[in-house]
């Protein structure tokens, strides 16, 4: 269901008043409507469907070598503070006859990132969807992100990067596979 933009505008106007602002002043006049549209966009992942995102872009390929897609940009919002976190996501998988079109992995990441999230859960959801949709033998996902809720509110935390990973199937069972993945994405396990 699409969010009710008019209702969000009303709420944002009230929020501005509560914060001690005057929503009628020139610079803020259009702010509630801009914020409503912006929030609708930043949460469009709630309304995306997996079938549409993947859209049959799975190709038959007879390979059992690891496929790695590095540096997929991630922009999401933490569910605790509704502030952005952003960074990069690396996905590796060992196909079992089917591989994704390259842009699809990025679109799948976006589908889950454009919601209120926890980085840990986002990482897991990505690994599960890659595993389930491709029937891969194993999947590894690693995400490095900076959280504005830490950077803007804390002190001495401005440069901290949070790293999360999720491994499934052969990536979980075999140390060598996991290490190959971590080496290829540039981190040592
Ligand atoms: Zn937060």
The string of pLDDT tens digits covering residues 137-171 is 999 999 999 999 988 886 666 778 999 999 999 99
Residue pair 140/166 in contact (Cβ under 8 Å)? The answer is: yes
The terminus-to-terminus CA distance of the chain in angstroms comes to 42
Residue 86 confidence (pLDDT) above 90:
yes
Residue 129 confidence (pLDDT) above 60:
yes
In what order do the strands lie in the sheet containing 162-169? 116-117, 67-78, 84-94, 138-147, 162-169
Question: Which active-site residues does the annotation give?
Answer: 78-81, 119, 147, 149
How far, in Å, from the CA of 154 to the mean position of ligand 1?
11
Residue pair 108/144 in contact (Cβ under 8 Å)? The answer is: no
The pLDDT of residue 156: 63
Calpha distance 85→175 (Å, rounded): 30
How far, in Å, from the CA of 68 to the mean position of ligand 1?
29
How far, in Å, from the CA of 56 to the mean position of ligand 1?
35
């Amino acid at each position: 269901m699409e969010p009710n933009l008019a209702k969000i505008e009303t709420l944002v106007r009230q929020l501005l008043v509560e914060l001690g602002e005057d929503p009628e002043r020139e610079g803020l006049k259009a702010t509630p409507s801009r914020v409503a549209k912006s929030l609708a966009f930043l949460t469009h992942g709630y309304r995306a469907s997996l079938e549409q995102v993947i859209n049959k872009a799975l190709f038959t390929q007879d390979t059992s070598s690891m496929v790695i897609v590095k540096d997929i940009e991630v922009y999401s919002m933490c569910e605790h503070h509704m502030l952005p976190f952003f960074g990069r996501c690396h996905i590796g998988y060992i196909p079992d006859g089917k591989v994704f079109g390259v842009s699809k992995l990025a679109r799948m990441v976006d589908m889950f990132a454009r919601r209120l999230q926890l980085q840990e859960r986002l990482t897991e959801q990505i690994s599960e969807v890659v595993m389930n949709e491709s029937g891969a033998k194993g999947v590894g996902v690693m995400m490095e992100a900076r959280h504005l809720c830490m950077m803007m509110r804390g002190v001495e935390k401005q440069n901290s990067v949070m790293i999360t990973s999720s491994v499934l199937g052969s990536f979980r069972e075999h140390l060598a596979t996991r290490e190959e993945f971590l080496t290829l994405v540039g981190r040592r396990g």
